[in-house]
Structure 1
Amino acid sequence: MESGRLGLRRFTGADVGLLVGLDSDVEVMRFLTGRVTSREEVVGVVLPGMLRVYDEHPGLGTFAAEEKDGGAFVGWFGLQPTDDATTVDVGYRLNRKSWGKGYATEGTRMLIEYAFTELGMERVVADTMAVNHRSRAVMRRSGMRFARLWHEHFDEPLPGTEFGEVEYAIDRRTWEAGRRA
């Protein structure tokens, strides 16, 4: 898949270093786990899980994002299955040097379009911590709208967990109307 500035591709076993580098920045992981991911966890859990989704859910998964001009690794974008076969969950994780360049919105819009036009989905959702204002702004700029707030119990909550989790969503009808406007 390609957008104006980004190319997406499947991850391979050769991409361990890219994932370790991305997940070793505590600021990148701030609203996710609050800690860096070890190389052992990337090799033994993270990457095998990504590769498994490709096999079990054709068309879905986590995709390496690279700049079309020069090929620099930006991070990843993903479409994950949900409990509803007509709904997918979009997500993204970008390295810090790629922040503030519009890549998150560009890649998210590309996957939303792909979900509706190629996969035949009826709804795309995304979620984050309520205090993750940058990610929420990406969701809004991508055409998604606030859907709900909820609270979960975590044994080791991250700072801000007390404010809850939020979900944003867009359905096919709304997305199509936006394209015609």
Structure 2
Amino acid sequence: MSEGSRPRAGPPRAIVTPRLRLRPLRLDDAETLAALLDDFEVVRMLARVPWPYGVADAESFICDYGDETVFAVCLKASGELVGVCGLHPGRRGGNAGDLGYWIGRRHWNQGYATEAAHAAIDYGFTALGLDEITVSCRVINEASRRVVWKCGFRFSGSGMIDTLASGRVAAEHFSLDRSCWRSLKAWGGTP
């Protein structure tokens, strides 16, 4: 890490869910992030993570993730960091954000990605005042697609995306607008 670099402040507060605590990333998370992303099965599904991924990559990200809102996804009971979830300004412009999330492999199939995504979506519509949130996933990523559907997103199209680890890949795109999110919340639905 370069001299004078320091972690960004991140989101202004932590979010607590039934099993998770989403909090700002800290520089002391770098080794854990690098260890979780030392798994091509995780990285190959992500658009903006290079392969291989080391501690220097993690430190660089923690110190400068631009205008994104990024959360460390931690188990509430132990504080263990298990992944990352966040929102960044939308590709379409306007008052929209793109959702991104990943969970380390040994924590897959426990619903953590869905729980973290719900919290980030709520944060996006309430604290950030977004009007729409979009998300994309590789067509081969059935687990991510399940998260997307559980969060109430609607399919908006398919196409190609550029990824750092896997090159140009086929993807599906989804969106959730504020009015749909409000309706789902009012019905007591999953989001």
TM-score class normalised by the smaller sequence: 0.7 to 0.9
Distance 1:40 1:117, change over 3 A: closer
1:135 partner amino acid: S
Unaligned runs of 5+ in 1: none
TM-score w.r.t. the length of structure 2 is 0.80
Distance 1:172 1:70, change over 3 A: same
Q: 2:31 touches 2:58 (CA, 8 Å); kept in 1?
A: no
Hey, what's the Cα distance between the residues in 1 that align with 2:152 and 2:162?
Answer: 29
Unaligned runs of 5+ in 2: 1-14
Q: 2:40 touches 2:51 (CA, 8 Å); kept in 1?
A: yes
Of 69-78 and 79-88, more deviation after overlay is shown by: 79-88
Classify the secondary structure of the residue corresponding to 1:147.
Answer: strand
2:45 partner amino acid: F
Partner of 1:64: 72
Classify the secondary structure of the residue corresponding to 1:119.
Answer: coil
Partner of 2:90: 82
Distance 1:131 1:19, change over 3 A: same
For the aligned residue pairs, the C-alpha RMSD in angstroms reads 2.2
Distance 1:126 1:35, change over 3 A: same
- How big is the shift at 1:100? 0.5
Hey, what's the Cα distance between the residues in 2 that align with 1:80 and 1:167?
Answer: 15
Classify the secondary structure of the residue corresponding to 1:109.
Answer: helix
Q: Give the 5 Å matches for 1:116-127.
A: 116-127=125-136
Distance 1:38 1:140, change over 3 A: same
Give me the identity figure in percent: 28
Classify the secondary structure of the residue corresponding to 1:28.
Answer: helix
Of 33-42 and 62-71, more deviation after overlay is shown by: 33-42
Is structure 2 residue 117 aligned with structure 1 residue 102?
no
Distance 1:178 1:47, change over 3 A: same
**Can you list the C-alpha shifts for 1:60-96, whole angstroms capped at 9, x where unaligned?**
4221111111112111111111242410111111111
Q: 1:26 touches 1:34 (CA, 8 Å); kept in 2?
A: no
Is structure 2 residue 62 aligned with structure 1 residue 47?
yes
Hey, what's the Cα distance between the residues in 2 that align with 1:151 and 1:118?
Answer: 31
- For residue 174 of structure 1, the aligned residue among 172, 180, 183 is 180
**Can you list the C-alpha shifts for 1:114-159, whole angstroms capped at 9, x where unaligned?**
111221110011112111111111111111111111125779855x
1:149 partner amino acid: S
What is the total number of aligned residue pairs between the two structures?
A: 170
Distance 1:178 1:95, change over 3 A: same
Partner of 2:8: none
Is structure 2 residue 48 aligned with structure 1 residue 22?
no
